[in-house]
Amino acid sequence: MRFETPPFAAPPIDSYGPGGFRVGGAWREGPLFLRGESVSFWTPPESGPFTVEMFAPVLEGEREAEILLLGLGDEMRHIPWTLNKALLDRGIGLEAAPTPAACRTYNVLLGQGRDIAAALVPVTAEQ
């Protein structure tokens, strides 16, 4: 049986490694924000909490993502309820996970044609 890969408007995450990601065939260093065809860099907090303002690209534009995947690097971190509530109030679900799981989930949802965004912190060591 042969499976056809659906044409993606958004690039898939091909791989990840210490310090970056391969997205749509190109290696990119540092934390990334993916939304539709856009791949950009973002600055996650080093020690403080995540804030709503950090995710303005998800909340801007003519359409909002239905889900924001937050890849937290190697380990889980606390996600403030204020961030979750602000996104839920706009109809955006938040899924936070270590980055490897967030990357896998992103590709699965992308393959389903879901309207998603991802904010990803790179892992620090080979997984």
Report pLDDT digits (tens) over 68-115. 999 999 988 888 899 999 899 889 999 999 999 999 999 999 999 998
Helix (H, G, I), strand (E, B) or coil at 45: coil
Report pLDDT digits (tens) over 16-54. 999 999 999 999 999 999 988 889 998 888 877 888 888
User: What is 13-121's CATH number?
Assistant: 3.40.1230.10
Tell me which residue of 34, 30, 38 sits closest to 118, measured CA to CA.
34
Q: pTM to 2 decimals?
A: 0.86
- Per DSSP, helices labelled H in 23-92 are 56-59, 81-89
